[in-house]
Amino acid sequence: MFMFNVKTNEKVHWIGLTRSEMREHVAKLGQPHFRADQIYNWIYSGKIKSFQSMANIPKSFRAILDQTSGIHPLSLVKITGQNSSLTRKFLFRLSTDEMIESVLMQEGNRTTACLSSQVGCAMDCDFCATAEMGFQKNLSVGEIVDQFLFLQQKSEKIITNVVFMGMGEPFLNYTRVIKAADLLNEPDGIDLGARRITISTVGIIPRIKQFTKEGHRYKLAISLNGATQNQRLQTMPAAKKYPIHMLIDAAKNYYETAKRFPTFEYVLMNNLNDRTTDAENLIKLIGNLPCKVNLIPYNEIGGNYKRPSHGRLTHFINALKNAPFTVTVRWSNGTEIDAGCGQLAVNAGGGVQS
C-alpha cells in the first residue's frame, strides 16, 4: 500500500507532509488535487483527531485513509503541570517507541512552544540533562510539527512563539528542522511568523553558514555559555571542533549578510562564568557586533553546577550595563517540574495523564 514506507514497513503519517507531498499521495490513490488541499487544511488546523472527522471527504476515501495511513506520528503519554500552570511539560512516544519532551510556556502575552529536534543529544554539554541520554535518533519533520500541534490543542491560548531549544541539537538535524519551521510558517497552514520561530544551536559553524547563505528568516540563537575558548571547553565539548572566535566570525557573517541580530544564550553557572571579569571578557569577545545576549540563570539538575546567588547575578548584570549590545535575563519557569532550560530528559513517572 502506497502510504507505507516500503523500507521500514512503518505507517506513513500525514502530519509533516507539505501540500505538494500530500497532492502526490492523493494522486497515487486516484484522487483529485483538491482532496489533498482539504486534508492539508484539516491536518494543520490541528483540530481533528481522526480521518472520520474530515466532513468534506467522502466516507469511502476516509476509510481508505484510515486503513493505509495515520495522522499523528506521536502519541501523547503525559502532561506534567496543571492546566493553570505557566509551564507544562509534555511527554510523547514515537511510533518507534522512543520518548521525547516538549514544553509549553506562558509569559505575559507570549505563549511559547519549546520543541525537541532529536531523541537525546550527542553534544554532551556537561550542564544539560538531555546529554545524559546520549544521542538516539533524529526526529522526522512530522514528529517535530506534531509536538506543536499537540501543544496547541492543549493550550488555552494561541501559541505565539516556537523555540527549537528542547532535546537535541537542531543544526545536526538541519534539513528536517528547516522543513518543520517552513511548515509552521506556511501562510496557508499553521501561519506562525518567521520571526516568531527561533532555532538555537550550540555552534555548528558549517550549518550556521548554510543557514546564513540560504537566507532563512527564522531567528538564530547561539549557546555561548562562556566568554573565552577555555571557559566554553569546560562545559561544551563542541567548542573543541568549533572554536569561539570562529563562532563569533560566523555570527558576524550572519549579521552582515542577513542584516539580522543573532542572539547569544549565556547560561550563568555559579563561580564558573558569572564573575565580573567574565562579563568584561564577554564585552571584549562580542565587541560591536549588533546582537542580543540572553542571560539564563542555571537550572540545577543535581550535578556539579549551581545557579549563582541573586547577588552574583546582579553583579554580572551590572557589569554588562555599558555593553554595546542588548542584554536580557530569562528566568526559566517550570524548574520545579524539570521543564526549565537544559533540564529536559525523559522521565515517565508522575504527572497528569492525558
Measured between alpha carbons, how far is residue 276 from residues 126, 137, 161, 175 in Å? 23, 40, 33, 40
The interface with ligand SF4 within residues 199-218 (CB under 6 A) comprises 202
Chain centroid, CA 170 distance in Å: 7
Q: What is the DSSP letter of 4?
A: B
- Under the binding rule (CB under 6 A), the answer on residue 340 touching ligand SF4 is no
At closest approach, how far in Å is the CB of 156 from ligand SF4? Answer: 28
What x/- string results for residues 183 through 202 when contact with ligand SF4 is judged by CB under 6 A? -------------------x
- Under the binding rule (CB under 6 A), the answer on residue 163 touching ligand SF4 is no
At closest approach, how far in Å is the CB of 46 from ligand SF4? Answer: 26
Copy the grid coordinates of residue 305.
Answer: 553546577
What is d(CA 74, CA 150) in angstroms, rounded to the nearest whole number? Answer: 9
Of 46, 168, 308, 340, the one binding ligand SF4 by CB under 6 A: 168
Of 130, 147, 198, 335, the one binding ligand SF4 by CB under 6 A: 130
Task: Mark 9-46 as b/e (b = at least 16 C-beta within 10 Å).
Answer: eeebbbbbbebeebbebbeeeebeeebbebbbebbbeb
- Under the binding rule (CB under 6 A), the answer on residue 177 touching ligand SF4 is no
**Catalytic (active site) residue 101:** yes
The interface with ligand SF4 within residues 44-103 (CB under 6 A) comprises none
Residue span binding ligand SF4 (CB under 6 A) among the ranges 72-80, 117-125, 155-163, 313-321 = 117-125
- Under the binding rule (CB under 6 A), the answer on residue 297 touching ligand SF4 is no
- Decide: helix, strand or coil at residue 320: coil
Angle of the 205-214 helix axis to the 244-258 helix axis, nearest 10 = 0
Name the site residues for ligand SF4 (rule: CB under 6 A).
Answer: 121, 123-125, 128, 130-131, 167-169, 202, 342
Question: Which residues are catalytically annotated?
Answer: 101, 341
